[in-house]
Chains A and B, each alone.
Chain A
Amino acid sequence: MGTPDSAPSAPLLRGLTRRRFLGGVLGLGSAAALSACSTPGLEKYGLDARAATDLSSGQKVVNWSNWPEYVDVNDKTQRHPSLDQFKKATGITVRYTEDVTDNDVIFAKLKPALAAGRDTGRDLVVVTDWMIERMIRLTWAQEIDHGNIPNLKNLEPTLLNVSFDKGRKFSIPWQSGFTGVAYNPKATDGVKVTSVDQLLHDKRLKGKVTLLTELRDTVGLTMLAMGKDPSDFQESEFYDAIDVLRDAKAAGQIQGFTGNEYGQGLAAGDIAACMAWTGDVVQLQADNPHLGYVLPKAGHMLWSDNFFIPNQAAHKTNAEKLINWYYQPKIAAEVEDYVNYIPTVVGVQDILVKEDPDVAKNPLIFPDAKVRSTSHVFQGVSAQQDTEFNRAFQALIGG
């Protein structure tokens, strides 16, 4: 820098010391502080206030946000046949985006627009049960007109009256799946892993176990292993399960908490055993037939990912037509043959028996009544529990 007494720059340097500069900046900052004293709560929208003018008849499009690899793909053309057929049948173009990679992340993306009562640019979004519950609670989901979805009669009956959305007024299931236990016999030295108890306590698996970052899967399975029912529990039982998980973590049993990315580690043997989702494992087993998958005797978790129509979506009728399209057993079977989760549409199995018997016979895709009887859906939670449970679970994951 220039020497302090070199004439022309001196006034600046003398007049504006670092301290004065910072002082000025802080002064201006405190003006901003006055406007930042509080963050307003979320406005509630009545049923009428949620809808926008429906542009469906004029604009033959629908914007659908879904999870990656969650619809049929033609391996050669990389196109989605069921969407192309929909366009042919109805003239409606589907703008299909695979931008839902995580329930919390898509929530963060949708939140600014929905909280402000604006259009999110999406007409259909697929999220998991508990996020639907939150969307309904926040009044951010539009009521679905069942009149536009006559095929809803094909809905799997057990999914109609769920705790968070009786009669499915705001959400329609897209796919279901189980959460159970997967293991790689090569990494366990041939030991079979059959229970969550073993995951958390078997010393032979120490440091090679992963659980899921989805609270309901990890805590739900742990509760079942403790003999509690995750679909009907007291708060204290939730925290008991957290304690069991914390002890297992403190003992070095658990390598980490993951989303879908456990697949690679499990196949490579870096993960010996983990909590895992059915559809993932079915797809993994295609390349790694030795991988084992078990639905624990103590019970397993059942979840669904569901369509919902966000507030102010501009193409609501088109969105409902798309849902109706996928509730035809024939179309649902096309999707199922590719994604390998559990269909929510009745009649898919009968079609696949002829077209792809291997898939039709797979008990992880078409579970029988006996398996279904040990499925559990995590109970509904209040706004306060939503926060408190999340806090306890995040403290477990990151603590």
Chain B
Amino acid sequence: MSAIGSLGGAGGRTKTAPDRPEKRRLTPYWLLVPGMAWLLIFFVVPMVFLGSQSLQTGSFEDGTKLTWNFSIYWETLRGYWPHYARSIGFAALATIAALLIGYPLAYMIAHKSGRWKNILLVLVIAPFFTSFLIRTLAWKTILSSGGPVVWFFQQTHLTDLLQWLHLTDKDTLLATPFAVIAGLTYNFLPFMVLPLYASLDRLDHRLLEAAGDLYSRPFTAFRRVTLPLSMPGVVAGTLLTFIPAAGDYINSVLLGNTRSTMIGQVIDGQFLRVLDYPQAATMSFILLIIILAIVMTYVRRSGTEELV
């Protein structure tokens, strides 16, 4: 996404002698035209339609008219705030879980895997060879009652822990918030691993040797050298995981219960089944704004502004 856009950003410095200034001033704008056109057609226009649709009233059969019905935003927030909160919460937990699993994995692939590196990278992407739906359905079998995973969780009393955390409500795993978060983590893990790998792979080993020469323990070297240098990967990975996870609904439909409904599922119902397009547009717009606000704050805080 925008992270990719920044790659070409620093290349503008040339050493040509100053020729006609006006011409030179216009060139960057011409170069921007294809990008702008793309943004206009595939982002701005749909966004305006969505915004406009959300403020219309009427019915699907008789047509809808723009009536600047702003009250729908307030009503939607009041009626569906738990769904938004849940979506953000689940996505955040899944992102943290993916980071905890993905970081060691990416580190191992980048630095410890030797000649297995390429094979391991292919394995990270391998799940994409089958459909998202099939992969999620497989989790129904994995977490099914009477299966080995549930047995293991019960033997180790992890089920009690999950119950205490309110992530499950019985001695089972399927059809619980835990299952939804696990599904999200699994489905978006590659989006975490690949950017992490890209930034860890570039890490200069000599920096770690230098840290060692200066009597830093391995952990200190990790904390003060490896981690800061991999921060762009962490930020890109968390964004690529969090954003799609917050809007996902397949996982909550297939792995959740009636009290783990995420906002994507509600939008799907309004759009597809009730055919209430203004309501669906409003919900999508609110989700967009919430995610944008979170992402902006996060990126500002993490100090890697070149990502946006």
User: What residues make up the interface of A, taking CB atoms closer than 8 Å to B?
Assistant: 1-2, 6, 8-9, 11-12, 15-16, 25-26, 28-30, 32-33, 36-42, 104-105, 108, 138, 187, 207, 249, 252, 254-257, 261, 264-265, 268-270, 383-384, 387, 390-391, 394, 397-399
Contact = CB atoms under 8 A, between A and B. Distances in A.
Nearest to B259: A252
A27 to B, nearest CB: 10
11 contacts: A2-B10, A6-B13, A25-B44, A29-B45, A39-B63, A41-B59, A207-B170, A249-B258, A265-B140, A270-B174, A390-B273
A276 B56 CA distance: 39
Interface string B40-51: 100011011101
A12 B45 contact: no
Contact of B276 (A257, A261, A269, A387): A387
B34 interface: no
Interface in B131-148: 137, 140-141, 144-146
B52 A16 contact: no
Nearest to B6: A1
A391 B49 CA distance: 23
Interface residues of B, number: 61
Contacts of A8: 12-14, 16, 24
Interface stretch (B88-96, B218-226, B228-236, B264-272): B264-272
B257 A36 contact: no
Contacts of A1: 9-10, 306
A39 B53 contact: yes
Nearest to A31: B48
A11 B25 contact: yes
A contact face: mostly helix, strand, loop, or mixed:
helix
Contacts, number: 143
Contacts of B174: 265, 270
B277 interface: yes
Contacts of B16: 8
A91 to B, nearest CB: 37
Contacts of A29: 40, 44-45, 47-48
A15 B24 CA distance: 13
Given A29-B48, A42-B61, A256-B258, A270 B13 contact: no
Given A30-B48, A36-B53, A2 B13 contact: yes
A11 B146 contact: no
A104 B83 CA distance: 23
A270 B40 CA distance: 48
A-B complex: 9 closest residue pairs judged by Cβ atoms: A41-B63, A36-B52, A9-B12, A12-B28, A394-B269, A398-B266, A41-B62, A37-B66, A29-B44
Nearest to A207: B170
